[in-house]
Structure 1
Amino acid sequence: MRVVLVTYGSRGDVGPMTGLALQLQALDAEVRVCAPPDFAELLDRTDVPLTPVGWPIRALATGAVPGKAQARLSDIAAELTAMAYEAVAGVAEGCAAVVATGSFPAVAGARAAAEKLGVPYVFTSFSPSYLPSPHHPPRPWPGQEVPAEVTDNRVLWDLNAEHMNALFGETINTHRASIGLSPVDGIRDHVFTDHPFLAADPVLGPWQETPELDVAQTGAWIRPDERPLPADLEAFLAAGAEPVYVGFGSMPMRGANAQDVSRAVIQAVRTQGRRVLLGSGWADLALIDDRDNCFVVGEVNHQELFGRVAAVIHHGGAGTTVTAARAGAPQVIVPQVADQPYWAGRVTELGIGTGHDGPTPTAESLSAALKITLAPETGARAAVVAETVRADGAELAAELLLDMIGRSGSAG
């Protein structure tokens, strides 16, 4: 039995898919992941085959893909849909299911490939905030203007569907016509389906049931990481009190250059009397002086590291949020885009940290947020919540998926 997992997104999208892939392999399924070429090394060290999709995601995010920095969203969407379709169609024939998440145009291409091949398709969200519900409003999309007087969530989701049709409807239906598929009216609901998976922890990101969707909330898909920390990082950790980790993962910071952000975060942590551990990441955080209370690391095992720091300052990706929560590390989230404001709100509501106001931190604003997060009561609450965070989401999802495939085969 072969399953194809598809995402066009950052490490925060590819990591969970890798977690699911490993659980499927443990249940004797053959797995192929379609993802950006940036993550070939990640998948190679977990022995999960990769079919590259599209441009390198970091190059696209930073405007380094030739000819794409000034390209229209509709043009990029059209190419992503086609590239995802070609990648999935090339490996999914005869497979048991296609599971997709990430960039909406790419997921639409994956769904079209599954439909063309007659293969079952499952959409997955890593955050409740993406899924239509009367219990919460949609996240804003680029270029969407919502009248201030409109506050009813159902109406807002209707407007969201209209806006997504305007953004992607013509592009996706043009591609569908080119491969012999009929057009669809509701692009969002067609891609999301009425029975999606929700790969989010039910304590951190709970789903409130609604008759419109049959959501299977599995818990977060966590890829186990057994790598030891580098020796120089171990030496830094052993040389003093627990540092504050600051890293924004595969997320360029909006509205500020790397030097300004580095200076702001280092000064903020030092103001609170703490040592600083910088994760360089796509924000290119770097040292601002030669003081020995600050250290820079690249890509390391966060599952091991976060249990050994005083707090984690990050961008609010779903994966980093759940990793810090599992470790009992209080958090400051500096949200940039997408579902990150949702996670900032959730850590604040749960009392396990705080959300920074706005995407661009200053030394003063970040120091104020960090002061709340470093308070003893926040740490105590984070320790309590850590005991409730599930670690078996990928295992449950793999079992659900194989059960679905089995029932589909029996029905056929």
Structure 2
Amino acid sequence: MRVLLSTIGSRGEVQPLVALAMELRALGQEARLCVPPDFRDWIDGLGIPVVPIGPELRGTASADRPRPTREQLLQGVEASVATQFATIAEAAQGCDVLVAGGALQIATRSIAERMGVPYVYASYCPKTLPSPHHAPIPMPGQTPADGTVDDRTLWVADAQRWNDTFGAALNSHRASAGLAPVTDVRSHIFTDRPWLAADPTLGPWPEPADPDVVQTGAWILADQRPLPPGLVDFLDTGEPPVCFGFGSIRAPQALAQAMIRSARALGRRAIVLRGWAGLSPIDDEPDCLSIGEVNQQALFKRVAAVVHHGGAGTTTAAAGAGAPQVVIPQMYDQPYWAQRIRRLGIGSAHPPGAPTADSLATALKHALQPDVAGRAQIIAAAVRTDGARATAQRLIALDSQSRAPGSGR
């Protein structure tokens, strides 16, 4: 079986697909990835075939780069959809199953339909999938729901926004491929049975008995890399530090200043993960260390707390390591993960607004309480690590079913 795993997201969307690809390979199957070019060298080094799609994303992490307006986003829709139809179709040649990971996978299902092979849509966060138990995540430029409109009505409006944003471009390319037009873009992309690649403890589907959503568990890439010697020395020479990082999203340099000062206010050392935004220390004091890409699974087990943006991957890694968390949500699903960390009692959700040294110190002080650390250890024991393996096995079964007599394939 050959499986194409595609996404146009950042590290948080790509790494789960890499985990799934590794599990497929371990089970004797073939997997290839179609992801942004930022990750090509890393995936090449793992020996997994990769087809780059679209432009590099790294530059978008700079806070100095203006946020695009909704009009600019709409102008880029046609180019993005055209690129997807061309690139994913090429990458999918010879594949038996196509898997789309994360939002904005506009073309993948149409390509699977044209090829006559199974298609799976996978979300990494429950909040992104329609449910009467929560409101949809706002699209860029849209004001979050204020609670005055019921969730079902909001989901109807959300479906219309998908149609308005992507319908024309999608149906133009479908017509060129000889495919019938789509009247509900969101349902077309998500399918009537999406897979939810989130940990059931951290991000449970609100309707556990719902047969229309398959919760597989998070797709966690096991990381066996040793920590760099300099980092190990830093960790060994004092009390566990606080780890700060914003991954691949926008972050101003002033944030690094606030982070370090908040740790110092509580008498804590600090580790700053530079990330795509290039966060760096504010001085040369020995109580702070700045590092690049690292084995977070190993690092988070040795820190007092993790302060981060609330991406699904970082949230899961910190929870699995038993580290208390402070989440500073910025966009998309991050407010959801911030609230889950707060409700589980394993950390703090930073209030809306730009963080300051004082506001971070307040949130961090709560996360560093012994009862929070104890609760974080309990939750860590409940975090599943078999999600990618279970999903790989499910894909193998799906391929077998699609080949059975009478399946139409």
Unaligned runs of 5+ in 2: none
Name which of 306, 312, 315 aligns with 1:318. 312
Return the letter of the residue paired with 2:400.
G
For the 8 Å contact 1:310–1:374, the answer to whether it is kept is yes
What is the rounded CA distance, in whole Å, between the counterparts of 2:209 and 2:305 in structure 1?
39
What's the offset of the Cα at 1:86?
1.4
Residues 170 and 329 of structure 1, relative CA distance in 2, 3 Å threshold: same
Aligned pair in 2 of structure 1 residues 287, 59: CA closer, same or farther (>3 Å)? Answer: closer
Q: Distance in 2 between matches of 1:307 and 1:88?
A: 38
Deviation at 1:26, TM superposition (A): 1.0
**Offset at residue 60 of structure 1 (A):** 4.7
Match of 1:135 in 2: 133
Note the 1:10-409 alignment, pairs <5 A.
10-60=10-60, 62=62, 72-104=72-104, 107-144=105-142, 150-209=148-207, 214-253=212-251, 257-258=252-253, 260-358=254-352, 360-409=354-403
Q: Among all aligned residue pairs of Structure 1 and Structure 2, give the percentage whose two residues are the same amino acid.
A: 48
Once residues 41 and 379 of structure 2 are traced to their aligned partners in structure 1, the CA distance between those partners, rounded to angstroms, is 33
CA RMSD of aligned residues (A): 2.0
3-state secondary structure, aligned to 2:331: coil
Q: TM-score, normalising length from structure 1? A: 0.93
**Structure 1 unpaired stretches of 5+:** none
Deviation at 1:81, TM superposition (A): 1.4
Deviations 1:57-104 (A, max 9, x none): 223555999xx8997212222212121221221132332100002341
Deviations 1:231-278 (A, max 9, x none): 11111111111000000111112xxx31x1111110011111100000
For the Cα contact (< 8 Å) 2:217–2:384, is it kept in 1? Answer: yes
Separation of aligned partners in 1, 2:378 and 2:209: 32
Alpha carbons of structure 1 residues 377 and 394: separation in structure 2 relative to 1, 3 Å: same
User: For residue 28 of structure 1, what is the amino acid of its counterpart?
Assistant: G
The alpha carbon displacement at 1:177 in A equals 2.3
How far apart are residue 211 of structure 1 and its match? 8.8
Q: Quick one: structure 1 residues 69 and 119, their matched pair in 2 at CA, closer, same or farther if it must change by over 3 Å?
A: same
The Cα offsets for residues 295-318 of structure 1, whole Å up to 9 and x where unpaired, read as 000000001100000000000010
Query: What secondary structure is seen at the aligned counterpart in 2 of 1:9?
Result: coil
**Distance in 2 between residues matched to 1:175 and 1:79, nearest whole Å:** 11
CA drift of 1:167 comes to 1.8
* Cα distance, 1:150 vs structure 2: 4.0
User: Is the 8 Å Cα contact of residues 77 and 165 (structure 2) preserved in structure 1?
Assistant: no
Number of equivalenced pairs: 404
Q: TM-score, normalised by structure 2?
A: 0.94
Shift of 1:172: 1.9
| Alpha-carbon distance in structure 1 between the residues aligned to 2:156 and 2:4 | 31
**CA distance 1:94–1:359, change in 2 (3 Å):** farther
Q: Could you give the per-residue CA deviations for residues 116-149 of structure 1, whole angstroms, max 9, x where no partner exists?
A: 2222110000000000001111111124467857
Judged with a 3 Å threshold, the aligned counterparts in structure 2 of structure 1 residues 63 and 70 are, in CA distance, closer, same or farther, namely farther
CA shift, 1:377, in A, is 0.7
Which stretch of structure 1 is more off in the superposition, 235-244 or 173-182? 173-182
Q: Give the drift of 1:45.
A: 2.4
Partner amino acid for 2:228? P
Task: Extract structure 1 runs of 4+ deviating beyond 6 A.
Answer: 68-71, 210-213
State how far apart, in whole Å, the 2-side matches of 1:64 and 1:7 are.
Answer: 26
For 1:40 and 1:364, the matched residues in 2 are separated by: 40
Comparing 344-353 with 359-368, greater Cα deviation is found at 359-368
Cα distance between partner residues in 2 of 1:212 and 1:346:
21
Q: Give the Cα–Cα distance (whole angstroms) in 2 for the partners of residues 311 and 146 of structure 1.
A: 29
- Name the CA shift for 1:212/1:132 in 2 (closer, same or farther; >3 Å): farther
Matches of 2:226 and 2:391, distance apart in 1: 28
Partner of 2:7: helix, strand, or coil?
A: strand
**Alpha-carbon distance in structure 2 between the residues aligned to 1:212 and 1:97:** 24
